[in-house]
Amino acid sequence: MSDEAVSNGAASNGAVSNGAVSNGAEALAVEGLVAGYGEVIALDGVTVTAAASGITAVLGANGAGKTTLLRAISGMIKPRRGRILLADHDVTGRSPEQIVRAGIAHVPEGQGVIPELTVEENLRIGMMSWRGKRAARGAAMEEEYARFKPLADRRRKLASTLSGGERQMLVIARALLARPRVLLLDEPSLGLAPRVMAQVMDLVVRLSREHGLTIVLVEQNARSALAIADHGVVLNLGRVVASADAATLAADVALRHHYLGF
The H or E element spanning position 228 is helix 222-228
254 binds, among ligand ADP, Mg ion, none (CB under 5 to 8 A by kind): none
Assign 3-state DSSP to the chain and report helix, strand, coil percentages, each to 5: 40, 25, 35
**115 is an interface residue for ligand ADP by CB under 6 A:** no
**221 is an interface residue for Mg ion by CB under 5 A:** no
**39 is an interface residue for ligand ADP by CB under 6 A:** no
**79 is an interface residue for ligand ADP by CB under 6 A:** no
Residue 98's identity, in one-letter code, is Q
Among 42, 87, 91, 250, binds ligand ADP (CB under 6 A): 42
Query: Can you spell out the DSSP letters for 105-170?
Result: EEE-SS----TTSBHHHHHHHTTTT--S-HHHHHHHHHHHHHH-HHHHHTTTSBGGGS-HHHHHHH
Is there a contact between 241 and 235 (Cβ–Cβ < 8 Å)?
A: yes
**63 is an interface residue for ligand ADP by CB under 6 A:** yes
**233 is an interface residue for ligand ADP by CB under 6 A:** no
Among 9, 14, 54, 60, binds ligand ADP (CB under 6 A): 60
Q: CB of 168: closest distance to Mg ion in angstroms?
A: 15
Largest Cα–Cα distance in the chain? 54
Q: Of 67 and 111, which has the nearer Cβ to Mg ion?
A: 67
Q: Hey, which bits of 19-67 come out as E strands?
A: 26-37, 40-51, 55-59
Stretch touching ligand ADP by CB under 6 A, among 60-68, 94-102, 117-125, 254-262: 60-68
Residue 115's identity, in one-letter code, is P
126 binds, among Mg ion, ligand ADP, none (CB under 5 to 8 A by kind): none
**261 is an interface residue for ligand ADP by CB under 6 A:** no
Q: Of 37 and 149, which has the nearer Cβ to ligand ADP?
A: 37
Among 64, 73, 175, 217, binds ligand ADP (CB under 6 A): 64
Is there a contact between 60 and 232 (Cβ–Cβ < 8 Å)?
A: no
Is there a contact between 126 and 112 (Cβ–Cβ < 8 Å)?
A: no
Is there a contact between 222 and 45 (Cβ–Cβ < 8 Å)?
A: no
**232 is an interface residue for ligand ADP by CB under 6 A:** no
Q: CB of 190: closest distance to ligand ADP in angstroms?
A: 11
Number of residues that bind ligand ADP (CB under 6 A): 11
198 three-class SS: helix
**67 is an interface residue for Mg ion by CB under 5 A:** yes
Residue 56's identity, in one-letter code, is T
**8 is an interface residue for ligand ADP by CB under 6 A:** no
Interface positions with ligand ADP (CB under 6 A): 37, 40, 42, 60, 62-68
